[in-house]
Structure 1
């Protein structure tokens, strides 16, 4: 390239670079469709999955709001009351309460830490909407020192970040800068209230638009109180207590354990400056029961987890984190896995949509229906001519599939109400033979026929000796459960149970059962004389008397209450056998039920140590390098340094000599390098090799396989045993 110019100069010409095509970013649908044989069908399944999950997600959010409504309303009332008390004592603050006292709401949420963010987000939104625009949330990891805590509070309230000069000054004079922060906050608060235009972070409405009071409180939420340093909390509260006359401060402490944490972390001189009120959130187990009730134990959503899948999800909840949020995420993963791995999940939707989509199935999809185990069992039970039609005619199969899908939806509509009735009857029995929670009974019904189990037999025996009041109470609950039923089977069951309940109410419960006691007492009196002393009798006479007493019990006439009670239990038993059959007995159950418990356990129940050992022992599985293929137990010279060092350390005992370890490592690496280097470069090569060894050992120490020891300075201690 040239340029025409009469003057000398330097000209820059940018080279013409061809425009590169932007790399297409993959979205969730692309990942879902990837690897599928039928792209169109996969996209349809993905849309169905998203729609179904949106409905389930909105249901979980409503459950969360309902559970937290009571405690959040109490917190809002507490905040409003604190704000009004500040307004009433502007002129006479010290006479009404101690000048340094700060109202504190101690919110005990439990150990399910991952669920706390949702609760605090909901609380913050409601506070900003109805109490005050000045709400700020902080966490312990952001506030390692008092200055950082004050910085976060000031920055999130005012929206002004600190300069580096101010940060350096705060490092030199932390106590002085802390008071500077609070004084600047006081000035900002007075200006905001005076102008009536203080804007909350993320909000764009003024005081007048949001109907706030003239002096709305400043609420500071400490999400994880246990994680805060006691020194930081001590200093922060002392500093804030000196400004309670100018600032209507209110603290909300998020506590995972108990209120005694506050007394344990802070001395009495600090807690005396706080006016603490306790708020106890609902337990995570109650939350889980409600979520399972709304998402799983309902015919509203066609997708269902199998018994093993539900056991994996509940097991992760009970033995890991008590997090309902993670349980819901696990259920979402099950939903995605089912729609991705099961091509016929396109029919996992509402009844009318499933009937319409059945007519649109292709021949390939009809063949997949014929290969389902449940459908194959159904075909084997049909007549020979019907079997031929089902296996050869797609149109005939589509008509049958419509009926089977309607029957599957009807099965769910009958299954869950009868399940609740059985739980109501058995949940109060001694030792809970069928489980105390309904989810335990549900898992039992999913895995096998419940009436064939020993636990069910024990429950029935206990039900046969229920008192009249207990049986009436249980029947009343069953009637309430079946009342909204829409199927013919549920209406008939409701009518029959209502009739049994009315008949029980008309009986005198204790009119006849005493006859047996009098009969037994009369037989027993035969063994005693008139003066009350026992008659002389031999073993044969005693045995004869006992046999007569036993026969009298068998042949005695039962009371009307006992007959009616047995009739009620027999009818409940018939309902159980009719409606609580296993889902596997229903044709096409694979359309709605997720059975990938192994995949779920593999993805959600992580085993990091096993994965690390597998990666270090068999790096080919992760790096896919053919040079890393070797026999089991051999040490490949082409493997990464950390893999070589790890395999060598498996051959050592509890203490490992670093020099011997280095020599063994060097021997393996030299074999990989081939020829020896030049003598002039040998020293550099040894230093590089030494540095690689040190780095590999440091990585093993970071991963927790070895540690330094004071027993021998040139040794390290081995921390793990065994390997892949």
Structure 2
């Protein structure tokens, strides 16, 4: 019964013919266990249609963002082995031919996005340049042999095997694509020569025309190291050295995916190896700028009706900034918010285009109308109406539907005016010192969503700084705002705002023409009536006091210049726009239809705390198993709970060191009571072997989860690693 250790180890045996796991889809998420109603189907179809539009839009502008670096990389690969107009005996030509062309692509620390970026880049290379592309992961290439296996398997096809199967292959006359290939780079030159000759075969005339540039037209072999930092330096060094021996026979091109800094290459490779590479650096767009574009295309737009509340958007941004910098994960969080909204909000079926929503409103059942009447924002809206309209809204379904159509249209107009004015305010405040309202528009948007922005101290501070802005700076900001309004929909309120800003701009331009003459006239008048002039004359104490009082009064009632008055007028106009159009969404009736506000749900799914979940499951198993027999009051140990839960609760009562024998006795006492046995029976010194095995198994699981560990202080004790419980 004695054991030298609580648990010896954990072993995983994977089945040879493993079947793919069934990945849950959104349709299963909408299945709540009952029969799916027509409303649920409509919600799910609306979700699918809306997300498909968002997904296509995301992929389109992400391709546009990566277009510049992709074009540069394709051009580099295309020209990497072209040495036209170079003599064979030229020293520089021979040096270039002896080095491996290498593209060092700095993608940033947003590692989850790298896979998608390289997948798209690999597809582009295969479509436009060469079919010979190999992508390598550091976790799959821990030895040089594994790297060679991956490369040869992707290029030659078939199965790459080691020397043990070589003799077996010699006795079979199978084609190259089906034979097992010896794991060596020596097999590549012959294969590549055969491939290029086969692809270049054709008419004799075409052969004569292309023989001069046969080398230049040969497709290169591109090997992509997706995560350079995860490769072992020795493996990388040996593979590069092997490739350098074949660079005269194979047009190899290496692509390094770097997450940190280009200096990583020189830290991993000594000079003797790095000198074999001809490295060119490529820098991708920063993940912060990428996120700004995503928010602008998915959130700050009226193209998609679905919106996030301020707290939900703040959760997604915090996860992005403090966890992974991954735009891909941000988009997944956005998709999860969309899915949760359509799952939890029955009225989300109206979260669609305005014309489609009007048609659905006309087909609403009485139960749906009652749900609308129970929406908090609609209840506040009803309270503000007169008594006759209140009665109609609460009793007449048709009258309610007509009013809901009007409210949804007003909500749509609210967003059409909201986003252009928000961008104009960002233009004015994003260049101020210390950025009182934030440098990025997402910071300003979150503030405007959560409260009245004009009531904050940051807003007052920003307008005080704007009140000291120079003429040329203010003119530049006005021009940017006009450009923002021109790019938005040309409807009545925005058109009037743009015309007003253009009037301000023309006044500032005219002010520059008349400023010198007016300044001279105002200076002469001030000199004539200036109280300071009287101070230069001899005077008594009474006259001096009178003059000083006049100076103080004149400073208080100092007349503003034309520029200052015009600047004040512009700021008052902007403040009026903010107070009129940047009202929080909570002020709009039926905002719950399109706004998702389940921040706690998103935080629980995306920013989970594993230790908290483990301790909750072990201390309160009813929350997960939903078995009534497991209900217990706080602090008590339920004898019907699983063994690991009993062992966990018993270990909470111990100190830093836990006596295994005492622990076992307490466990047997609790379990025996649940099974109707005599609790005093185990005290005689003989423990049932089944209970002993169950105890050892439960303790082993606790050790595997990290709650305890063996200790050398006492052989029959274990050390506790965690403190506190639920």
TM normalised by structure 1 equals 0.86
Q: 2:373 aligns with which of 370, 373, 396?
A: 370
Aligned equivalents of 1:518 and 1:670: distance in 2?
Answer: 105
Q: Does 1:106 align with 2:104?
A: yes
Q: Does 1:497 align with 2:496?
A: no
SS of the counterpart of 1:133? coil
Task: Give the C-alpha shift of residue 94 in structure 1.
Answer: 9.0
Give the 3 Å change call, closer, same or farther, for CA 25–594 of structure 1 in structure 2.
closer
CA contact (8 A) 2:618 2:645 kept: yes
Task: Give the C-alpha shift of residue 281 in structure 1.
Answer: 0.9
Q: Does 1:302 align with 2:305?
A: yes
2:121 matched residue in structure 1: 123
Q: Does 1:355 align with 2:353?
A: no
Q: 2:146 aligns with which of 126, 139, 148?
A: 148
Moved more, 666-675 or 303-312: 666-675
Q: 2:709 aligns with which of 702, 707, 712?
A: 707
Q: 2:599 aligns with which of 597, 600, 610?
A: 597
Q: 2:242 aligns with which of 239, 261, 270?
A: 239
Q: 1:665 aligns with which of 664, 667, 672?
A: 667
1:624 matched residue in structure 2: 626
Aligned equivalents of 2:688 and 2:254: distance in 1?
Answer: 61
Q: Does 1:54 align with 2:52?
A: yes
Q: 1:133 aligns with which of 122, 126, 131?
A: 131
Q: Does 1:387 align with 2:390?
A: yes
Task: Give the C-alpha shift of residue 238 in structure 1.
Answer: 1.4
1:718 matched residue in structure 2: 720
SS of the counterpart of 2:658? strand
Alignment of 1:669-680 (within 5 A): 669-675=671-677
Aligned equivalents of 2:87 and 2:449: distance in 1?
Answer: 63
2:72 matched residue in structure 1: 74
SS of the counterpart of 1:557? coil
Which consecutive residues of structure 2, in runs of 5 or more, have no partner in the other structure? 1-21, 169-179, 202-209
Q: Does 1:249 align with 2:247?
A: no
CA contact (8 A) 1:147 1:178 kept: no
Alignment of 1:168-567 (within 5 A): 181-196=184-199, 214-484=217-487, 485-508=489-512, 511=516, 548-567=550-569
Task: Give the C-alpha shift of residue 89 in structure 1.
Answer: 8.2
Give the 3 Å change call, closer, same or farther, for CA 698–500 of structure 1 in structure 2.
same
Q: 2:696 aligns with which of 673, 694, 697?
A: 694
Moved more, 29-38 or 148-157: 29-38
Task: Give the C-alpha shift of residue 285 in structure 1.
Answer: 0.8
CA contact (8 A) 2:26 2:339 kept: no
CA contact (8 A) 1:29 1:43 kept: no
Aligned equivalents of 2:225 and 2:467: distance in 1?
Answer: 55
| Cα deviation digits, residues 544-586 of structure 1 (max 9, x gap) | 8776544222212211111111111111111112211111221
Aligned equivalents of 2:503 and 2:182: distance in 1?
Answer: 76
CA contact (8 A) 1:516 1:556 kept: no
2:175 matched residue in structure 1: none
Task: Give the C-alpha shift of residue 683 in structure 1.
Answer: 10
Task: Give the C-alpha shift of residue 662 in structure 1.
Answer: 3.5
CA contact (8 A) 2:377 2:590 kept: yes
Task: Give the C-alpha shift of residue 623 in structure 1.
Answer: 2.5
Aligned equivalents of 1:169 and 1:228: distance in 2?
Answer: 32
CA contact (8 A) 1:150 1:178 kept: no
How many pairs are equivalent?
676
Task: Give the C-alpha shift of residue 419 in structure 1.
Answer: 0.5
| Cα deviation digits, residues 315-367 of structure 1 (max 9, x gap) | 11111111111110111111111111111111111111112222111121112
SS of the counterpart of 2:281? strand
Task: Give the C-alpha shift of residue 30 in structure 1.
Answer: 4.6
Which consecutive residues of structure 1, in runs of 5 or more, have no partner in the other structure? 1-23, 171-176, 199-206
Aligned equivalents of 1:707 and 1:544: distance in 2?
Answer: 89
SS of the counterpart of 2:636? coil
Task: Give the C-alpha shift of residue 63 in structure 1.
Answer: 1.9
Aligned equivalents of 1:599 and 1:573: distance in 2?
Answer: 36
Task: Give the C-alpha shift of residue 45 in structure 1.
Answer: 1.3
SS of the counterpart of 1:137? strand
Q: 1:655 aligns with which of 654, 657, 664?
A: 657
Aligned equivalents of 1:263 and 1:70: distance in 2?
Answer: 26
Aligned equivalents of 1:633 and 1:93: distance in 2?
Answer: 82
1:3 matched residue in structure 2: none
CA contact (8 A) 1:379 1:387 kept: yes
Give the 3 Å change call, closer, same or farther, for CA 674–330 of structure 1 in structure 2.
same
